[in-house]
Amino acid sequence: MSGRPPNAWGQAIAAFVVVGALGGGLWALQKSSGESGPTALTCSKSDPTPSASATGGKKTAKTVDYLSGYELCTALNRPDLPTLLGTPGEEAKSLGSADDGFSLGGGDAPSPKADVRLSTYTVQLSAAYDDEPVTGLAGLLGATAQERTVLGRPAVLYSTGTMGFSFGGDGDKAESVPSHPARSLVIARDPKDGGGSYEIAVWRQDSVPPDDATLLRVAETVLPTIPGWTPAL
């Protein structure tokens, strides 16, 4: 055990499962007809984003404007995404978004997420509104985790995996099974690393491990377009 507070474990677990948690009733999905480019797809709107003087269920002195899955989807759904991924000419096949949350530190922390799937890659973007800094998180994310500074903020690169579902066997029960290897970047929500994070992950449909250059190129282009993003001084 690391000795870090429980919220840190919650953040690490959330960072792992977000890549695979694509199902559920709140997941809004739109599919392309395959006849037009990425801009032909539009993100599904969700309820207005609430504001609260709380992070991870704890009262704080600052007001937090929670992003919605729709806002994250809009940031990802850009016409140059295939070029950023190194696959120019591809088209977005589907968009998805969700306004989920999880219990953390005595309260519910929003955990919105969105993804864009192309022929070669899927990209997922999520936000975590706990009160844990990214600094020190690498120790909880396995041997592949590397601390970095990205866009002037503390960040961690690490490898994880998506989860698929297998149906069959006794009672035709659904079982989770490993699917595609993914590479993920967790980055502090603010330059001072005051708690909370964004996470952007990429994986390939052919299960070839994605490279860091691709992930960082997407992250450094997409993240500054998120509503409320504050550039580091």
Q: pLDDT tens digits for 66-102?
A: 899 999 999 999 999 999 999 999 988 999 998 876 5
The amino acid sitting at 122 is T
pLDDT of 179-225, one tens digit each?
788 999 999 999 999 999 999 999 999 989 999 999 999 999 999 99
Task: Tell me 110's DSSP state.
Answer: E
Q: pLDDT digit string (tens) for 58-69?
A: 444 456 788 999
Q: pTM of this prediction?
A: 0.76
> What is each CA distance from 51 to 40, 54, 55, 154, 191, in whole angstroms?
31, 9, 11, 25, 20
Residue 163 clears pLDDT 60, i.e. is over it: no
Amino acid at 92: A
Closest CA to 111 of 42, 178, 189: 189
Domains of the chain in start order, with CATH, are: 67-233 (3.40.1000)
Q: How far apart are the first and last CA of the chain?
A: 36
**Residue 141, pLDDT above cutoff 70:** yes
